[in-house]
Chain A
Amino acid sequence: MEPISKSVKKKDHEPKMSGRSLYVDDLAMDGMLYGRQLHSAKAKARIKDIRLPKLPEGYYVVDKHDVTGVNRVAIVLNDTPVYAEDTVEYVGEPILMVVGPDRKKVDQILNEIVVVYEEEIPVLDMKKSDTVFFNYNYEKGDIEKAMAEADRVFEETFQTGYQEQAYLETQGLIAYPHDGRMTVRGSMQCPYYIHGAVSKALGYDTGDVQIIQDVTGGGFGGKEDYPSILACQVAVAAAKVGKPVKVVFDRREDMEFTSKRHPSICTYKVAIKNGEITGMDVDVLFNGGAYTTLSAVVLQRGIICANGVYRVDNLRVHGRAVKTNTVPCGAYRGFGAPQTFFAVEMIMDHIARDMGIEPLELKEKYIVKQGDSTSTSGEYHFHVPLPEMIERMDQLSDYRVKSKRYQNQTGRYRRGIGLSLVYHGCGFTGSGERDIIKAVVRIRKNADDTVEVLASNADIGQGLKTTFCKIVADTLGIPLERVLIENPDTDLVPDSGPTVASRSLMTVGGMLQRLSEKLKKEWKNGEEQIVEERYIEPDFIIPFDIGKFQGDAYPTYSWSVSAIEVEVDTLTASNKVLGAWGIFDVGVPIDMNIIQGQMQGGFLQGIGYSSMEQMDYNDKGVIRNNSFSDYIIPTSVDVPNLVTEIINNPYTHGPYGAKGAGELPLVGAAPAYVEAMENALGVSLYNAPFTPENTMKVLQEVSK
């Protein structure tokens, strides 16, 4: 283990452990009012009339008429209304907000409001959508030729469902006007995204908007895009009433009406000639929901991963994100990649079994290596450690032996094991970092020789305060206690970009390392100094052309091998996870405990996605799994034997050798789990989550 990886007590440990940390719902301000939204009850309708009861004194209704700037939330495109205009496009779309001093009274007023809808026929099924939000195509080699010359074309379709981030703290923000400005604070990942959105919605100069992150109870992507929407709504309310307004969602609102992982349908055609895979033609369809939010970038990452970790010389990928009258999907750990990785890993498994060879044997034949071309004709610039990770995995889990032994079982209890190989492209897709984000960080050295990290990245539990400070302290050669960091406040920190894409530690942490080296040279005892660093793209990168989808989509990749072993009870269709093993290459961990915590937490979230986290809407477009009773996430007893290991593969261009980590562990879980179920049940499977109900259907089919 590298010296930097030695774990320290986390910077945020004490206040969180003792319950002293104040989350947004714990904050109160003088004169503060409570807001609650009226959500559309219809999936697609024109609003004919809204009948309001007589409002008691001190209570207000806030809607589209109160938006002083543009009634659109700036995300990637500007199509999401702050408050609904003449139509509603999904169940849950915010129409108005009732604001007042007493929460129960606010609820009562909401219940008395009558919205008269003229219903239209919603499009709920993504396959039936006629509105394509985003459409991307890319190819390399000669796919037509590969298909024409193939001995056979193996074609299969895979589906994945919603996944809800299910952070323990629901969405919540407080907005308050003061001195001609607007401050919004609360639970978030990306203060500067909100900053831009709120200034446009209010029509304020950016200097008149301040965003402060409070202690945030988990995000996982769910607090990347959604808080921008909520912030505009709350800020408009606060501007209207001239008082602080707090909105904290209850669990049902949060589950039903906020962004989630995109459901997908992926169709793969794989050309096979002389027992070799010679080409892949892939069609990726994502359900974007009613507005575009982050679908463009989620889809980009998804289709870049379409060929998995495999060398496919003739490749064509067609991706679409389409509109439906359902809740807009957005960011969730993995960001499009879990869907395509699920599909490609499953089809590799199916092709292998069809050929009569072991799945891992087929996969190993095509694993990319350093110097190979990526899906987008970029390059894998660095060592790909998958072969040694697979060997270690085999030692840990006994995968090869078990996988064979579990074929053709009979009897009530049947076991299965599955294994997946995935990567996570570290940081923003393409040239986003260079052309859009243009991150800036600062370090302020105080007269007492303490230093303060000034960056806009939010610690949402992933340990960023600790890892940022460790990098600075170690580089400067000063004790960790002398390096300080606060929750970001846009009045005080520069825009070092959002807390997304597994970029914060690798990219911003790398900038902090360079900046600390600079400060070390200029260090003057007892004096105040401020130093600043800007993002520089590594010089080895093949520039990414988003029009052609060509070049390095990512500077480097993190790698994982996951194996999951299950035991199915064929009488009850229930099953147990006997073991889940993950081996991860995330470069050098800046803190081993933190990285282990990320790997374990992410892996378990992925196992939830694979096996139990089922969410769907009914024929009216209403999501029915809107509580922890109906949407089940893993508890401490579901996967007692979850083992994670980190291999040492330093990234030469990351701080201390670190690269992206947070998203990686989730991605490989679904294919490993569903492969394990296939191994146990002796059938081919095509969907995730794969729940006990799905198992029951398979068992009924088999017994027919």
Chain B
Amino acid sequence: MKETIKFILNNKEVVSTAKANERLLDVLRNEFRLTGVKCGCKEGECGACSVILDGKLANSCMVAMGSIQDSTVITIEGYRDTERFTVLDKAYAAVSAVQCGFCIPGMVLASECILAKNPHPTEAEIREGISGNLCRCTGYNAIVEAIGIAAKEGNGLW
């Protein structure tokens, strides 16, 4: 019998036939066609492939499939239909925090993880929370500001 890996992906139970040593990033992009998960470096440095794995932000390029049996994985495709996303969306738009966009799916999930842990973060806490997500376009100010706005506007959501 072929071994399979079962996990919860964007609120649905899924089964992958990937090998245990494959990267979650590659499986999400190639097997599940979730192209919102971006590949920027494949060595856990840039954060473009960030997903929320069991409630914590993780670089999916650094996660082996063998380690995620029964885990919960949320990608931008699962997150974008939430009310929280709508708040972040408005906040990012208000300060034009999106430039080339390649870091953004990861940045949005990092924003969620910051606010889920701490609904009213300081600027320093926001900066710390996105420090694993590289952005080469914005200089980060607008993204930090957007997360601050979302914290205020989404009062009670997180």
Q: How far is the CA of A628 from the CA of B143 in the complex (A)?
A: 21
| Option from B42, B126, B137 in Cβ contact (under 8 Å) with A218 | B137
Is residue B148 within 8 Å, beta carbon to beta carbon, of the partner chain? no
Q: Which residues of B contact A22 (CB under 8 A)?
A: 35
Interchain CB contact under 8 A, B102 and A591: no
Is residue B119 within 8 Å, beta carbon to beta carbon, of the partner chain? no
Interchain CB contact under 8 A, A251 and B43: yes
Q: How far is the CA of A627 from the CA of B41 in the complex (A)?
A: 8
Q: Which residues of B contact A625 (CB under 8 A)?
A: none
Is residue A543 within 8 Å, beta carbon to beta carbon, of the partner chain? no
| Option from A19, A216, A251, A628 in Cβ contact (under 8 Å) with B77 | A19
Nearest residue (CB) in A for B100 is: A461
Q: Which of A294-302, A430-438, A595-603, A691-699 contacts B (4 or more CB under 8 A)?
A: A595-603
Chain B 111-148 interface 0/1 with A at a Cβ cutoff of 8 Å (1 = within): 00000000000011011101111111111111110000
Which B residues, 10 to 54, have Cβ-Cβ distances below 8 Å to chain A?
A: 35-43, 45-46, 48
Is residue A463 within 8 Å, beta carbon to beta carbon, of the partner chain? yes
Interchain CB contact under 8 A, B142 and A17: no
Interchain CB contact under 8 A, B92 and A17: yes
Is residue A217 within 8 Å, beta carbon to beta carbon, of the partner chain? yes
Q: Which residues of A contact B75 (CB under 8 A)?
A: 19
Q: How far is the CA of A236 from the CA of B144 in the complex (A)?
A: 44
Interchain CB contact under 8 A, B41 and A16: no
Most interface-central of B92, B105, B123, B137 (chain A CB within 10 A): B137
Q: Which residues of A contact B73 (CB under 8 A)?
A: none
Interchain CB contact under 8 A, B100 and A167: yes
Which B residues, 65 to 99, have Cβ-Cβ distances below 8 Å to chain A?
A: 75-77, 80, 85, 89, 92-99
Interchain CB contact under 8 A, A168 and B142: no
Interchain CB contact under 8 A, A633 and B138: no
Interchain CB contact under 8 A, A636 and B127: yes
Q: How far is the CA of A365 from the CA of B118 in the complex (A)?
A: 52
Interchain CB contact under 8 A, A167 and B46: no
Is residue B9 within 8 Å, beta carbon to beta carbon, of the partner chain? no
Interchain CB contact under 8 A, B134 and A601: no
Answer whether A601 and B138 are a contact pair too, CB < 8 Å, given A16-B98, A217-B100: yes
Q: How far is the CA of A12 from the CA of B41 in the complex (A)?
A: 24
Interchain CB contact under 8 A, A640 and B123: yes
Interchain CB contact under 8 A, A13 and B92: yes
Interchain CB contact under 8 A, B41 and A251: yes
Q: How near does chain B come to A20, taking the closest CB pair, in angstroms?
A: 7
Interchain CB contact under 8 A, A13 and B100: no
Interchain CB contact under 8 A, B36 and A220: no
Per the CB 8 Å criterion, the residue count for chain B at the interface is 53
Is residue A21 within 8 Å, beta carbon to beta carbon, of the partner chain? yes
Interchain CB contact under 8 A, B38 and A169: yes
Q: Which residues of B contact A215 (CB under 8 A)?
A: 101
Which A residues, 186 to 216, have Cβ-Cβ distances below 8 Å to chain B?
A: 215-216
Answer whether A642 and B141 are a contact pair too, CB < 8 Å, given A17-B92, A23-B102: yes
| Option from B40, B45, B85 in Cβ contact (under 8 Å) with A169 | B40
Q: Which residues of B contact A86 (CB under 8 A)?
A: none
Q: How far is the CA of A691 from the CA of B61 in the complex (A)?
A: 30
Is residue A373 within 8 Å, beta carbon to beta carbon, of the partner chain? no
Is residue B151 within 8 Å, beta carbon to beta carbon, of the partner chain? no
Interchain CB contact under 8 A, A601 and B136: yes
Chain A 11-41 interface 0/1 with B at a Cβ cutoff of 8 Å (1 = within): 0111111111111011000000000000000
The majority secondary structure among interface residues of chain A is loop
Interchain CB contact under 8 A, B142 and A596: yes
Q: How far is the CA of A181 from the CA of B96 in the complex (A)?
A: 39
Which A residues, 511 to 566, have Cβ-Cβ distances below 8 Å to chain B?
A: none
Q: Which residues of A contact B126 (CB under 8 A)?
A: 636
Interchain CB contact under 8 A, A168 and B46: yes
The majority secondary structure among interface residues of chain B is loop
Is residue B104 within 8 Å, beta carbon to beta carbon, of the partner chain? yes
Interchain CB contact under 8 A, B102 and A217: yes
Q: Which residues of A contact B77 (CB under 8 A)?
A: 19
Q: How far is the CA of A423 from the CA of B101 in the complex (A)?
A: 29
Interchain CB contact under 8 A, A220 and B136: yes
Interchain CB contact under 8 A, A168 and B139: no
Q: Which residues of B contact A280 (CB under 8 A)?
A: none
Is residue B57 within 8 Å, beta carbon to beta carbon, of the partner chain? no
Q: How near does chain A come to B100, taking the closest CB pair, in angstroms?
A: 3
Q: How near does chain B come to A334, taking the closest CB pair, in angstroms?
A: 15
Is residue B58 within 8 Å, beta carbon to beta carbon, of the partner chain? no
Interchain CB contact under 8 A, B130 and A636: yes
Interchain CB contact under 8 A, A12 and B140: no
Interchain CB contact under 8 A, B93 and A13: yes
Interchain CB contact under 8 A, A601 and B139: yes
Interchain CB contact under 8 A, B36 and A640: no
| Option from A15, A599, A636 in Cβ contact (under 8 Å) with B131 | A636
Interchain CB contact under 8 A, A593 and B96: yes
Is residue A702 within 8 Å, beta carbon to beta carbon, of the partner chain? no
Nearest residue (CB) in B for A603 is: B139
Interchain CB contact under 8 A, B101 and A217: yes
Answer whether A17 and B96 are a contact pair too, CB < 8 Å, given A604-B139, A637-B128: no
Q: How far is the CA of A17 from the CA of B124 in the complex (A)?
A: 23
Q: How near does chain B come to A171, taking the closest CB pair, in angstroms?
A: 13
Is residue A460 within 8 Å, beta carbon to beta carbon, of the partner chain? yes
Is residue A404 within 8 Å, beta carbon to beta carbon, of the partner chain? no
Q: How far is the CA of A154 from the CA of B26 in the complex (A)?
A: 58
Nearest residue (CB) in A for B35 is: A26
Q: How far is the CA of A602 from the CA of B75 in the complex (A)?
A: 30
Answer whether A9 and B93 are a contact pair too, CB < 8 Å, given A167-B100, A169-B102, A461-B99: yes
Given A19-B35, A633-B136, A636-B143, output 13 extra A-B contacts at Cβ < 8 Å.
A9-B93, A10-B93, A10-B98, A21-B101, A23-B102, A168-B103, A168-B135, A218-B99, A251-B40, A591-B96, A594-B96, A600-B139, A640-B127
Closest 9 A/B residue pairs (Cβ): A19-B36, A16-B101, A461-B100, A217-B102, A600-B139, A628-B45, A461-B99, A593-B96, A19-B76
16 A–B contacts, CB within 8 A, in A order: A17-B108, A168-B134, A219-B100, A461-B101, A594-B96, A597-B99, A597-B138, A600-B140, A601-B135, A601-B139, A628-B41, A628-B45, A629-B45, A635-B140, A636-B130, A636-B144
Chain A residues within CB distance 8 Å of chain B: 7, 9-10, 12-23, 25-26, 165-170, 215-220, 250-251, 460-463, 591, 593-594, 596-597, 599-605, 627-629, 633, 635-637, 639-640, 642
Chain B residues within CB distance 8 Å of chain A: 35-43, 45-46, 48, 75-77, 80, 85, 89, 92-105, 108, 123-124, 126-128, 130-144
